[in-house]
Amino acid sequence: MPTDLRLPTHTIVKPDKDIFLDEENPFEGMMLRFDKAAELLDLEPGLYRVLRHPEKQIIVSIPVMKDNGEVEVYTGYRVLYNTSRGPAKGGIRFDTQVTLEEVKALAAWMTWKCAVVNIPFGGAKGGVVCDPRTMSVTELERLTRRYTAGIISVLGPDSDVPAPDVNTNERVMAWIMDTYSMHVGHTTTAVVTGKPVEMGGSLGRREATGRGCMFVTKEALSHLGMPIKGTTVAVQGFGNVGSVAAQLLHAAGCKIVAISDRSVSLYDPNGIDVDEAIEYAKKNNHHLDGYPRAEVISGADLLTLDGDVLLPAALENVITTKNAGQIRARIICEGANGPTTAAADSILEENGIFVIPDILANAGGVTVSYFEWVQDRGGYFWTEQLVNDRLRDIMVKSFHDVLTISKQHKVNMRTAAYMLAVSRVATVHRLRGIYA
Ligand code: NAD
């Protein structure tokens, strides 16, 4: 059976913006961390101004003929935040809550993430304001192709390389690749990543983010002198990132004492059989509810369990000033993007919790996207083992690069990761100078 190309209908990984606390604005949260890093790096005022502005923001109106013959017009965005280190890289999301502010924040986030793991990409993000769950597959295809045509002047393996994000998947990437290829007159697989393996996707991409979380968690345990065997782990979110991270940490000897998804949170102090839970969820419409061999607990309790590692892999803003003080884990590995608000950072630090920040912890996905781009451009495909080995090398090295800065400057891992990222981007700006 070839790759499953259906669009997801059961998961929208996004909170309702109406219930955001002030501390939960994604652009502000990211910029607070950037500002702190810039101050510690003593960044020149000119460069600070450059890095606080996105390079290019595109807004397109996307007319789409609906199946009933009516024409609807959607709004789409693509923001290239910074391309000093290489082509822009970042996902495209289809969601009713997409805003230009959010796309800008996520594009900046991608800039820092690519720089932390030192892959030669800049940062971008895109989005279309729509509700894909109410659209047919043919409507989505027309939307995707017209959006692609609208932003085609920036797309390209050397300029801007999209990937899947919330509510987009391999199938959408295949449409983007096809549309771009038709425009330029030849097949260009490297214009997107996260494609089906049958048309230039990389082996190991699906598991890459969860696998990266496993690698950095193991490094953190070793750094803190904690044994892997028997380490207790609670995982929030049991989708692509959470389930793979849980499975691989379990295989490495950790005890996964809690897992959760949008349907239920489960707890077993003796350890949950992760493979069995994955099989159960597969047969249960991707949900864990009804899984019989664990106790049901509340989602809030999962976050404050008395365990060694907490791995949030579901939503933004789940660790805030409201609950940060109750978290008892020794390590937080941020599988999700933005699970901790900037205001909660200092509470975790005061309580001695070792946080592996999102821009490092979940960078395994973009790292294997980079491998996909490299393989497409080389026209030579790697074994899954080679992909996984190279991913491990990058994740382990990046963890230690960040740890070194954290020790040198006596700052937490998040600030160290931002310092590393901002300094790498700033260095290239200094070397290149300002054009014209
Ligand atoms: P996914 O859709 O595969 O899984 C999300 C999981 O979270 C599902 O199990 C869902 O049921 C669960 N969930 C939703 N609401 C919840 C709640 N209130 N409590 C507990 N669980 C809840 O998504 P994913 O690809 O695993 O992404 C998860 C996070 O990781 C997102 O923040 C995403 O941006 C980030 N991320 C993903 C990748 C990737 O390669 N997939 C890369 C980097 C970052």
The string of pLDDT tens digits covering residues 341-360 is: 999 999 999 999 999 999 99
Q: Taking a C-beta distance cutoff of 8 angstroms, is the pair 215, 391 a contact?
A: yes
Residue 179 in this model has a pLDDT that exceeds 50: yes
138: buried, middle or exposed (CB in 10 Å: 19+, 13-18, 0-12)?
Answer: exposed
- Provide the token pair at 127: 């989005």
DSSP percent split of the chain into helix, strand, coil, nearest 5:
45, 15, 35
* pLDDT tens string 255-308: 999 999 999 999 999 999 999 999 999 999 999 999 999 999 999 999 999 999
Residue 4 in this model has a pLDDT that exceeds 80: no
Terminal-residue alpha carbon distance, the chain:
54
Give the residue carrying structure tokens 């280190």.
85
Is the C-beta atom of 277 inside 6 A of ligand 1?
A: no
pLDDT of residue 23: 67
Which residue from 6, 240, 318, 395 has its CB within 8 A of the most atoms of ligand 1, so it is best to mutate?
Answer: 240
Query: Mean per-residue pLDDT for 131-148?
Result: 97
Which position has the higher pLDDT, 67 or 20? 67
Which residue owns the Cα nearest ligand 1 atom 18?
Answer: 262
Query: Mean per-residue pLDDT for 5-32?
Result: 53
Q: Is 125 a catalytic residue?
A: yes
Residue 9 in this model has a pLDDT that exceeds 60: no
Mean pLDDT taken over the chain = 93
- Provide the token pair at 436: 């014209």
Q: Taking a C-beta distance cutoff of 8 angstroms, is the pair 381, 199 a contact?
A: no
* pLDDT tens string 402-418: 999 999 999 999 999 99
Query: Mean per-residue pLDDT for 320-328?
Result: 97
Long-range contacts, 226-229 (Cβ 8 Å, 24+): 226/308, 226/330, 226/331, 228/252, 228/253, 228/254, 229/253, 229/254
Q: Taking a C-beta distance cutoff of 8 angstroms, is the pair 100, 348 a contact?
A: no
C-alpha 93 – ligand 1 centre gap (Å):
14
Catalytic residue (one of 113, 125, 218, 255): 125
C-alpha 244 – ligand 1 centre gap (Å):
11
Per-residue pLDDT band for 25 (boundaries 50, 70, 90) equals: confident
Tell me the C-alpha distance between 113 and 57, whole Å: 20
Which of 236, 229, 192, 197 minimizes the C-alpha distance to 213? 236
* pLDDT tens string 194-209: 999 999 999 999 999 9
Query: Mean per-residue pLDDT for 164-185?
Result: 96
Per-residue pLDDT band for 2 (boundaries 50, 70, 90) equals: very low
- Provide the token pair at 286: 């991707």
Is the C-beta atom of 360 inside 6 A of ligand 1?
A: no
pLDDT of residue 102: 86
Packing angle, helices 384-409 and 413-432, rounded to 10: 100
pLDDT of residue 14: 34
C-alpha 429 – ligand 1 centre gap (Å):
34
* pLDDT tens string 79-114: 999 999 999 999 999 999 899 988 998 999 999 999
Is the C-beta atom of 236 inside 6 A of ligand 1?
A: yes
pLDDT of residue 22: 58
Q: Which atom of ligand 1 is least distant from the CA of 315?
A: 32
Instruction: Out of 2-16, 38-52, 167-181, 368-382, pick the least confident.
Output: 2-16
Is the C-beta atom of 217 inside 6 A of ligand 1?
A: no
Question: For the chain, how long is the longest CA-to-CA vector?
Answer: 66
C-alpha 313 – ligand 1 centre gap (Å):
5
Which of 1, 434, 417 minimizes the C-alpha distance to 196? 1
